[in-house]
A and B are shown apart, each in its own frame.
Chain A
């Protein structure tokens, strides 16, 4: 059986692409963790890890190795099965999100027609995982953390989906690759960041809450709940929770990059005006397109990751009732208004573009 035959097999393709996604997630987890430590150190007048490897590059490896070596403690009174499976359940949504993200023009694992809804759907499991971990630990702090987490994630999921609806309206599709293509047609100003600025801000805040990152890290708030739902975890199970947190962060940033910043769209060296085609003309074709697309995608993702880390080390934590107020009483109405605004503006452009009235430039961004 040749490789091409093997590739035609569904199971083989699923296996290979799944493994690639896993490798991508783990590699970026490593980089993100290192970035977080260095960036927080930079913000806080410290150096951060410096000893293991140049600029502490191997520190994450050392830490993970340490965590893997540790004894896997299962406290006596926990709900044993739930306690043991919780990290793996938490793992599911974080990785599933990557299935629909277009990494490049043709680099999508499963280009679902329902991309955005699929993302929202798999996120539900994060709630369940939190609950399993918190309830299974049989610890009051864990339980409080799990309760907070479940309430928070359920509330913000609504806001998150609502903030993205505007993008779906603009692109006329829920498919992520379609959304990227719709942005690609219009250059930088066609990025949905500009017409959907409200949506982008709401998305950013809501995804922070969904990720349980500071200032919304209520369910593991170390100064209140010790460590929230993973108080009882140690060793590699704790490492998996850490991994999930960061993979989630990468995933949400990747989606934000796709939805608002144009995903893999970006100029390649061949697009440089005069010398581009002559010098870098050979860098075209499907393979090179994918490579450049992937680079742009990574760049945008890391830009957002950088912002997320920056926010974490700047703001204090909000309280649970303030969080709920913010979500339900402010962000949700704002995102609903954004949907309304998008509809009006799109309609306005459609009407005025035919008549050729100069007023249509007001609606140009929403064209």
Chain B
């Protein structure tokens, strides 16, 4: 009979690699985790309840702050829900701008997610490279929306303003224009950043040691736990809401769904994210082409001053950066939503920790947290 005593340790809430204020309770046998339980709620801000006392347009800034690293996609999801509820037709150009912004935001969010995972694994330089490239996206976003992180850019029925002059650039823009034009960024991103990530980390032997075979997630378990987004795709399930349940105008774009190998370990999740950035760049390029060919200034329909959707409810499934964002809106016909329910992918993925962690080392724990890429703002809402 083994009589080694288990060590109970608190990982967090103040810990360098819990991506915010997450507390994970761990039982260790030596260095091996035998039991793990996430303890959440340190960042709860009553987003859902708060929304009930705001008018519909007023909720949009709050959606920015749920998954604060992927603000545009949240705004997009919420706007789509309200538009579906009210039956608003969105101008085509506005929809293209939205999709382009959402995909840029996805790149931005994955960059940070990957960078943070690299940092957790000890590769500080990868993290700083991620910041360098995010900075370029941020400067673009700053010119487009006026905000750097929390934009409040999308409006119900459209976007706040058209793209500024010259931000699209030309397909020949190179690295020197990476923070001035979107084309410049995309070209820089595809020709320089992605190969750099591959060289620095994906093909790095130590990195592969640390991630391959760590915390495999079989596809059945992933589906049973309601995983979505890159985590689900890494387990080999070819499921992307943009393709499988097309919303917005995603059916007009050509892109692939990257899937991981069958076992879905940390390395697969990493590779899927890197591939997704590549696919997002493809979508952005197509959107840019359309936008350059179809200039116009109709970006938002005329709506009444006070939006009062008809009675009813609506549920929108949206492929956010981290997985399936679900917005459930219940309207009682007044100017304020009766109920807003936000299905957060991070919350779902966090529940995978007790499944993934046992049997692995303490050092793998942070790789797991990094690879499921949680944002505590969205977990706690």
Contacts and interface: CB of A to CB of B under 8 A. Distances in A.
A and B touch in the complex (CB under 8 A): yes
B209 A223 contact: no
A231 to B, nearest CB: 11
A223 B206 contact: no
Interface stretch (B50-58, B118-126, B235-243, B286-294): B118-126
B16 to A, nearest CB: 5
A315 B362 contact: no
A119 to B, nearest CB: 27
B201 interface: yes
A313 interface: yes
Interface in B289-327: none
B15 A226 contact: yes
Given A144-B362, A223-B366, A226-B15, A317 B210 contact: yes
B129 interface: yes
B124 A215 contact: no
Contacts of B210: 316-319, 322
A46 B361 CA distance: 34
B207 A320 contact: no
B121 A316 contact: yes
Contacts of A223: 16-17, 119-122, 366
Interface string A124-147: 000000000000000011001000
B209 A221 contact: no
Report the interface size class on chain B. 20 to 34
A316 B122 contact: yes
Contacts of A140: 7, 9
Contact of A224 (B7, B204, B209, B366): B366
The secondary structure that dominates the A interface is loop
Report the interface size class on chain A. 20 to 34
A157 interface: no
Contact of A45 (B31, B128, B361, B363): B128
A224 B124 contact: no
A224 B362 contact: yes
A44 B127 CA distance: 9
Given A316-B118, A316-B123, A141 B9 contact: yes
A224 B207 contact: no
Contacts of A45: 128-129, 132
27 contacts: A44-B125, A44-B128, A45-B132, A140-B9, A144-B7, A144-B28, A144-B31, A148-B31, A214-B122, A218-B363, A221-B363, A222-B16, A223-B119, A224-B17, A224-B362, A226-B16, A313-B124, A314-B123, A316-B121, A316-B123, A316-B204, A317-B121, A317-B123, A317-B210, A317-B363, A318-B206, A319-B209
Given A144-B31, A224-B362, A319-B363, 4 more contacts: A144-B9, A144-B362, A223-B120, A313-B125
Interface of A: 40, 43-46, 140-141, 144, 148, 214-215, 217-218, 221-226, 313-322
